[in-house]
Homo-oligomer: A and B are copies of this chain.
Amino acid sequence: MNEKKVMDILQKVQSNTITLQEAYDLIKTNPYDDLGFAKIDNYRYITSNYPEVVFCQGKTTDQLVKIFKTLLKNNNSLLGTRIPKDVYDEIKSLIPELMYNETAQIIYKKNQTFKTSGNIAVITAGTADIPVAEEAAVSLEVMGAEVNRVYDVGVAGIHRLFDKLELINQSSVIIVVAGMEGALASVVGGLTPKPVIAVPTSIGYGANFNGLSALLSMLNSCANGVGVVNIDNGYGAAALAFSILRTISHG
C-alpha cells in the first residue's frame, strides 16, 4: 500500500466521507504493495513478530532494491538471505541503512527494541558447516533472539560435544547443523529433552549427494523431538526456532 492510497483513505476520514471502521477495513484489505514482479506484505510483522524476510536468490539486484525500499517504508526491520557480497555492495550504495554479514550472506536492518525471552543454541558438526549456522544465528539475532554458538563438535570426536552439553541444555531450542552423515542431530536429540531443529548441509562429497545423506539421516533419527528443515536452510531453522520462542512467551 503506497502513500497515495493511504492518504486517499485518510482524507476521506478527515472529510467524514467514510467512518473510522470503513477506513480500517480499507487499509486491512490492501495488505500488500503490488510491484508487478512482487507483491509485498506490509503487515506480517504485526501478526507474526518477524522482520520482513526476503529470499534473495533468483531475484535481480534491481528487483531487490525496489522490494527493500518498499518494505522500509512500512517496517523498521528487514532480513534478506542468500545475498553475495558484490550484490550487497551495489544495494548498500542505494540504501545505506542496510547492514551485511558476509559469512551468513545476510543483508538486514535490525529493530533494536524487540527481544525474546529464552535463547537458542546453534551447534555445528564441523567448521565447514559454519556459514549455514551463521545464516541461522544472524537471522535469529536480527529477529531479536539470543544465540549460543557451539561449533565443530561432530561425532568423530564426541568428547567435544559432552564438554558443551550443560551450556546446550540451558537453551530453549537447539539447532543442529551438520553435513556428511549428519549423525550429530541424533546424538544431541538423545541427550536433551529440548526441541531439536536439524539442518542438513551440503558439506561433503561423493555419496553425500549434495546433502541427501545428512537429510535422510536426520529424517530417520532414532532420537525423540527432532524436526528437519531443507538442506542448507539456516534461515528456515531460525524461523521455526523463533516461532517456538514466541509461542513460549504467548502460548
Contact = CB atoms under 8 A, between A and B. Distances in A.
Contacts of A223: 155-156
Interface stretch (A1-9, A87-95, A236-244): A236-244
A159 interface: yes
Contacts of A202: 206
Given A38-B152, A127-B63, A246-B193, A206 B181 contact: no
Interface stretch (A16-24, A47-55, A68-76, A106-114): A47-55
Contacts of A189: 156
Interface residues of A, number: 97
A58 interface: yes
Contacts of A239: 224-225
B186 A206 contact: no
A91 to B, nearest CB: 15
Contacts of A200: 206
A221 interface: yes
A194 B50 CA distance: 12
Interface in A175-222: 180-183, 186-187, 189-191, 193-197, 200, 202-222
Nearest to A49: B193
A153 interface: yes
Contacts of A98: none
What is the oligomeric copy number?
A: 8
Given A32-B157, A152-B37, A243-B194, A207 B220 contact: yes
Nearest to A48: B193
Contact of A205 (B50, B209, B218, B230): B230
A182 to B, nearest CB: 7
Interface string A26-50: 0001011000111101001001111
A211 B222 contact: no
A125 interface: yes
A122 interface: no
A151 B38 CA distance: 7
B59 A222 contact: no
Contact of A204 (B186, B191, B220): B220
Contact of A213 (B187, B211, B216): B216
